[in-house]
Structure 1
Amino acid sequence: MDNILENIRTIRESKGYSQESISEMLNMTQASYARFERGATKTDLSVVRKVAVLFNMSLVDLISYPKKLIDPDLIESNMQVQKEVKATLTIEMGKEKKDQVFRFLFEDNNIEILNK
C-alpha cells in the first residue's frame, strides 16, 4: 500500500494540489488527509478510489503510476455515458474470499452472482 500512497503524494504535488485542497474535495479534514497520505491510519479503498477520480485516473493507473494502463479519455467518456456491460467471471475459491474479491471489484453495485 505504501507505493499507492507515494503515488498519490507524487501525483498531488505534480498537479499543484495542496493537502488542504484535496481534503476539501474529499470532504475530510486536512489532518485526516495528511494521516491517510502518510499511511498513519488504515487506508480505506473508497478514499483511494475518490482520489483517483479527482486526478482523472483509473484506480489501476493510480496503483501502477507512472505507467498508464488505461486511457484517461476512456474514463471521462465512461463517466458521461454509462452503458450496460455484461460479463461472465469464473472464480474458484472459498466463498469468503470470492465475496471479498467481488466487493473490491464492484464496490456496492448490485451484482448477481451465479454459482454453477
Structure 2
Amino acid sequence: MLIGDKIKSVRELKNYTQEYIAGQLGITQAGYSKIEKGKTSVSLDKLQQLALIMELPIENIINFDSQHYLIQSRIVEKGTVANSHNSFELVTRLYEDKIALLEKLLGKTDRELQFYKEKCAMR
C-alpha cells in the first residue's frame, strides 16, 4: 500500500474531507488529491502536519494497513483480544475519534436547530 493510499484510508476513517485536510495544510483540494493519488511526493514536513491534523503519530499513518485494520475491526466487533497491541490501539483511537467527531457534529446540528426554532418563533 502506497503512502497516499494510507493517508486516504486514515482520512476517511476519521471522516475528514479532502477539502478540510487541504485547508488545514494550506493547499488546494486538487493539490491534496494529488498527494492521495501518489502524483505528488509527501515531504516529511507535510507528513508531520498530516499527523497533527489527524491527531495520530506519524508511525500510525506510515504503518497503516487496511487489511490489518479490517481484521482488527472484526476482532474488536467480536470482542476477542487483538494480536497486535499497537494495531488495537490504532483501531480504538480511530473509533474514538470518529465518535467524538460525530458527537461534535450532532451538537452543532442541535444548536443550529435550536437557533432556527427560535428564529421561526419570533415571526
Shorter-chain TM-score bucket reads 0.5 to 0.7
Q: What secondary structure sits across from 1:57 in the alignment?
A: coil
Q: Decide which structure has greater helix share.
A: 2
- Provide the C-alpha distance between the structure 2 equivalents of 1:59 and 1:25, rounded to a whole number of angstroms: 17
Q: Which amino acid aligns with 2:62?
A: I
The alignment of Structure 1 onto Structure 2 pairs a total of residues equal to 70
Runs of 4+ aligned structure 1 residues displaced above 4 Å come to none
Aligned to 1:30: 29
C-alpha displacement of 1:48? 1.1
Aligned to 1:39: 38
C-alpha displacement of 1:44? 1.5
Aligned to 1:13: 12
Aligned to 2:59: 60
Return the structure number with greater relative CO, CA threshold 8 A, min gap 6.
Answer: 2
Return the TM-score normalized by structure 1.
0.53
C-alpha displacement of 1:41? 1.6
Give CA deviations for 1:42-66 in whole Å, capped at 9, x if unaligned.
2222111111111111111211125
Q: Which has the larger radius of gyration?
A: 2
Q: What secondary structure sits across from 2:27 in the alignment?
A: coil
Q: Which amino acid aligns with 1:54?
A: I
- Provide the C-alpha distance between the structure 2 equivalents of 1:41 and 1:6, rounded to a whole number of angstroms: 12
RMSD between superposed Cα atoms in Å: 2.2
Identity %, equivalent residues: 30
